[in-house]
Structure 1
Amino acid sequence: MSKQPSSIAPIGVFDSGVGGLSVLKAVRKVMPQEHLLYVADSANAPYGDRHVGFIEGRALAIAQFLVESNAKAIVVACNTATAVAIEKLRSTYRLPIIAMEPAIKPAVRLTKSQIIGVLATRRTLESPAVADLCRLYGENTRIILQPCPGLVEQVERGEADTEFTRQLLGRYIAPLLAEGADTLVLGCTHYPFLEPQIRRLVGDQITIVEPSTAVARQLERRLMGCINVASAGMPQEHFYTTGAVDKAHALVSRLWGESVNVQGLV
């Protein structure tokens, strides 16, 4: 059971690895006074091909750590963990828990060709949540679901901008463009860190959609009345990893944009 939250309590954010930093950046931009806790479960990344029970267990363990750290809300900054574990998390904890989902709804509004491509992990694309989104918003739009094995691993290795990564992206994106897709949905929080490479591949005429800002806005709405508007001292970020700390320090610092301290978490 969670404690009664206060406005100065931190917001907890977690992902299977470093991808959720794309969401953390959006939260920091939308809610600049908040204290933030981030957990990268990099020892177990990627979640995309993991067993459902394993993913649920990891989500519950990390959520428990964040609750014990007095988080006033949790953002599940992972589409796969959301698809597998969000109901269990919400039935276990009383604090606000914000979910991720591929930005299919806004993509349908933006497409002119009525064809969109969704890039995500296999587990996310096979989830009932994505099936529901396609059913709700795909009546007049063709939605092509493209699993992208290997992309999460490239980001986790710090190899987002390598020739092999570009080859993988080309392999996954070329068929979507050939089918006439004019809008691409980045359905994994790791993929925004690949957006510069994607943009070089697809040019300026293709719309790229990802939900991090929308998630941050939803968090802000859920915390209305419990927002930290006058922090004592500078707002802080604390970073944790279940992987190798030295490697995480270099990678998280690079993706976050400044040198940060990363602590180990079992």
Structure 2
Amino acid sequence: MDKNSPIGVFDSGVGGSSIWQEINKLMPNENTIYLADSKNAPYGNKSSDEITALSIKNVEELLELGCKIIVVACNTATTNAISTLREKYEIPIIGIEPAIKPAALQTTSKSIGILATKGTLSSALFSRTTREFTKDISVVEIIGEGLVPLIEAGNLDGPEMISLLKKHTKPMIDANVDYVVLGCSHYPYIIPQLKKILPENVKIIDSGEAVARQTKTVLQSLNLLREENTKPKLQFFTNAETNTLKFLLKEYSEKISVEKIDF
């Protein structure tokens, strides 16, 4: 495998670009390809078989584009399909899971909230992780119904978003949580809105940084980190409109290319 080959990242839409930002921040030298399967978003309300089939389709596309490692920047795809993907492909595959462990270890109120999609909350991997780390802790699990379509539409702080967030966070506030774990890669884009609604003492955790660190560790161990310091290629492909990706990544507009393709 060539060190100059790109890191491949996929998600059920634009949300995983929050993970891509962490990868790019940690490894600014690396070529990257991001695949946004917005046409099939959200994955969270699909069956496990459908999620696995879509994940395989995305991996095949990234392999076709010559990637050296694949990051599944989607909690729902990770919790439902990662073991199948790892059995099927030899290429290293990095997953993303809600950061339940740090929240459970650090909570002082012994109460944490998890905002995620139905597909993540109902998966076997999620319930195993939760059981393992939250024995003496009260966990408020909330399905973030309606959030992904609004984020996919670039509607981050309209009245509809604010009213949904107030509804979703109310049970957490009532349960006196001091940590809220974001279990969907779309949700980091609404952290500013969540901070306005949640009490000041509540900390919000997502998994982006941990995923970037793990990706770097694996590339290092395989001696696959890119050493050239020429300008990297940062490519984004989507099978829907390109405007939302451009909007979410506007601070990178000089460095990236965003293209619509069929996959």
Matches within 5 A, 1:1-266: 5-224=1-220, 225-231=223-229, 233-244=230-241, 248=242, 250-256=243-249, 257-259=251-253, 260-266=256-262
Deviation at 1:203, TM superposition (A): 3.8
Aligned partner letter, 2:92: P
Deviation at 1:110, TM superposition (A): 1.9
Deviation at 1:230, TM superposition (A): 2.0
Q: CA RMSD in A?
A: 1.1
Distance 1:61 1:131 in 2: 26
Distance 2:234 2:88 in 1: 26
TM score, norm. by length of structure 2: 0.95
Aligned partner letter, 2:15: G
Distance 2:159 2:152 in 1: 16
Deviation at 1:229, TM superposition (A): 2.4
Distance 2:171 2:204 in 1: 16
Deviation at 1:204, TM superposition (A): 2.5
Aligned partner letter, 1:254: F
Instruction: Mark the runs of 5 or more structure 1 residues left unpaired by the alignment.
Output: none
Aligned partner letter, 1:255: L
SS in 1 for 2:42: coil
TM score, norm. by length of structure 1: 0.94
Distance 1:265 1:137 in 2: 41
Distance 2:131 2:92 in 1: 27
Distance 1:262 1:53 in 2: 30
Distance 2:85 2:169 in 1: 34
Superposed CA offset, 1:139-182 (max 9, x none): 12111111111001110011011111010001010111101111
Distance 1:62 1:262 in 2: 17
Instruction: Mark the runs of 5 or more structure 2 residues left unpaired by the alignment.
Output: none
Runs of 4+ residues deviating >4 angstroms: none
Distance 1:70 1:60 in 2: 15
SS in 1 for 2:50: helix
Checking the alignment, whether the CA contact within 8 Å between 2:173 and 2:199 is kept in structure 1 is no
Distance 1:67 1:240 in 2: 14
